[in-house]
Chain A
Amino acid sequence: MSEVLTVPRSRRNVEALLLIVALTVAIGANWLVGLDKENPFDSAFWLQGGTLAALALIFHILLRFRAKYADPVILPIVIALNGIGLAMIYRLDLALPADGQPVAPSQFLWTTVAMGASIATLLVIRDHRILRRFTYISLIVSAVLLMLPLTPLGVEINGARIWINVGVGTFQPGEVAKITLAIFFAGYLSTNRDLILLAGKKLGPLQLPRFRDLAPMVAAWLVSIGVLIFQRDLGSSILFFGLFMAMIYVATSRVSWVLIGLAMIAVGGYAALQLFSHVALRIDSWINAFEPEVFNRNPGGSGQVVQGLFGLANGGLVGTGLGQGRPDLVTYANSDMIITALGEELGLIGLFAIVLLYILLISRGFRAALGTRDGFGKLLACGLSFTIALQCFVVIGGVTRLIPLTGLTTPFMSAGGSSLLANWIIVALLLLISETARRPAVKGPVRETFPEGKQNRNTPATDTTREVSA
Chain B
Amino acid sequence: MNQAIRRSWIVAISMFALVLGSLTYVQFFEANALENNDWNTRQILQDYGKNRGAILVDGRPIAESVPSNDQFNYQRVYNQPEMYAHLTGFFSLVNGSTQLENVMNEDLSGSSDDLFIDQMIRLFSGAQAQGASVELTIDPQLQQMAWEMIPEGQTGSIVVMEPATGNVLAMASKPSYDPNLLAAHDTSVVVQNIEQLAQVPGLSIYFNPATQSLVAPGSVFKLVVAAAALETGQFDAESTIPNPPVLDLPGTDVGLPNFTTGGCATRDTADLEFALEQSCNTPFAQMAWDLGEQAVLEQAQEFGFGERFFIPVEVAASQFPTELSEAQLAQSAIGQFSVAVTPLQMAMVSAAIANDGVLMKPNLVKAVRAPDLSIIDEPEPEVFRESLSADNANQITEWMVNVVENGTARSAAVPGVEVAGKTGTAEVPEQGDNAWFTGFAPADDPEVVVSIVMQDVDIATGAQLTSPNAKRLIEAVLNR
Contacts and interface: CB of A to CB of B under 8 A. Distances in A.
Contacts of B33: 313
B6 to A, nearest CB: 7
B28 A375 contact: no
Nearest to A247: B8
Nearest to A310: B40
B237 interface: no
Contact of A313 (B11, B26, B46): B26
Interface of A: 1-2, 4, 32-33, 35-36, 97-98, 246, 249-253, 290, 295, 306, 309-317, 321-324, 326, 329, 343, 347-348, 351-352, 355, 358-359, 362-363, 366, 369-370, 375, 378, 382, 385-386, 389-390, 392-393, 396-397, 400-402, 461
B16 interface: yes
B8 A246 contact: yes
B5 A250 contact: yes
Nearest to A363: B9
Contacts of A362: 9, 12
Interface stretch (B98-106, B125-133, B141-149): B125-133
25 contacts: A32-B125, A35-B125, A249-B4, A250-B8, A253-B3, A253-B4, A295-B39, A306-B39, A316-B28, A323-B126, A323-B127, A326-B42, A326-B49, A329-B42, A348-B24, A352-B20, A355-B20, A355-B23, A366-B6, A378-B5, A392-B19, A396-B22, A397-B19, A397-B22, A400-B22
A13 to B, nearest CB: 27
A352 B28 CA distance: 12
A357 B20 CA distance: 13
B126 A33 contact: yes
A313 B31 CA distance: 4
Given A329-B71, A347-B27, A385-B12, A402 B19 contact: yes
The 5 closest A-B pairs by CB, nearest first: A313-B34, A389-B12, A393-B15, A400-B22, A396-B19
Given A312-B26, A351-B27, A389 B126 contact: no
B41 interface: yes
Given A343-B27, A375-B1, A323 B19 contact: no
Contact of A315 (B3, B4, B27): B27
Interface residues of B, number: 48
A409 B129 CA distance: 31
A424 to B, nearest CB: 20
B69 A97 contact: yes
A253 B8 CA distance: 10
Contacts of B129: 324
B126 A36 contact: yes
B6 A370 contact: yes
A219 to B, nearest CB: 20
Given A370-B5, A397-B22, A386 B126 contact: no
B417 interface: no
A323 B51 CA distance: 14
Interface in B146-199: none
Contact of A343 (B7, B18, B23): B23
Contacts, number: 159
A326 B46 contact: yes
A346 to B, nearest CB: 11
Contact of B127 (A35, A314, A385): A35
A249 B12 CA distance: 13
A253 B28 CA distance: 39
Contact of B16 (A2, A343, A355, A378): A355
Determine chain A's interface SS by DSSP, over half rule.
helix
B126 A32 contact: yes
Contacts of B431: none
Interface in B50-90: 69-71
Contacts of A295: 39
Contacts of B8: 246, 249-250, 366, 382, 386
B19 A401 contact: no
B5 A316 contact: no
B459 interface: no
Contact of B126 (A316, A322, A358, A359): A322
Contacts of A321: 122-123, 126
A312 B27 contact: yes
Contacts of A317: 27-28
Contacts of A97: 69-70
B22 A359 contact: no
Given A322-B126, A363-B9, A370-B5, A396 B40 contact: no
A183 to B, nearest CB: 18
Nearest to B32: A313
A32 B126 CA distance: 6
Given A313-B32, A397-B22, A400-B22, 9 more contacts: A35-B125, A309-B30, A313-B35, A314-B42, A321-B126, A348-B23, A355-B23, A363-B13, A369-B5
Contacts of A378: 1-2, 5
B50 to A, nearest CB: 10
B325 to A, nearest CB: 60
B46 to A, nearest CB: 7
B266 interface: no
Contact of B2 (A4, A35, A251, A343): A4
A210 to B, nearest CB: 19
A377 B370 CA distance: 62
B37 interface: yes
Contacts of B476: none
A323 B73 CA distance: 12
Contacts of A306: 39
B324 interface: no
The listed residue with most A CB atoms (<10 A of its CB), out of B16, B19, B49, B123, is B19
Contacts of B309: none
Given A250-B1, A355-B20, A401 B9 contact: no
B45 A329 contact: yes
A249 B39 CA distance: 45
B28 A348 contact: yes
B116 interface: no
Given A306-B39, A311-B42, A251 B19 contact: no
A355 to B, nearest CB: 6
Contacts of B13: 359, 363
Contacts of B35: 310, 313-314
Contacts of B127: 35-36, 323
B25 interface: yes
A253 B7 CA distance: 9
Contacts of B70: 97
A117 to B, nearest CB: 25
A17 to B, nearest CB: 24
Nearest to B34: A313
Contacts of B22: 396-397, 400-402
B49 to A, nearest CB: 7
A129 to B, nearest CB: 16
The listed residue with most B CB atoms (<10 A of its CB), out of A33, A309, A352, A385, is A309
A389 B23 CA distance: 16
A312 B19 CA distance: 13
Contact of B42 (A33, A310, A366): A310
A303 to B, nearest CB: 8
Contact of A1 (B2, B40, B46): B2
Interface in B210-268: none
A328 B128 CA distance: 15
Given A246-B8, A253-B3, A310-B40, A316 B16 contact: no
Contacts of B41: 329
B31 A396 contact: no
B2 A370 contact: yes
B122 A312 contact: no
A296 B134 CA distance: 41
B23 A400 contact: yes
Contacts of A36: 126-128
Nearest to B73: A95
Nearest to B21: A402
Contacts of B28: 316-317, 348
Given A329-B41, A329-B42, A313 B1 contact: no
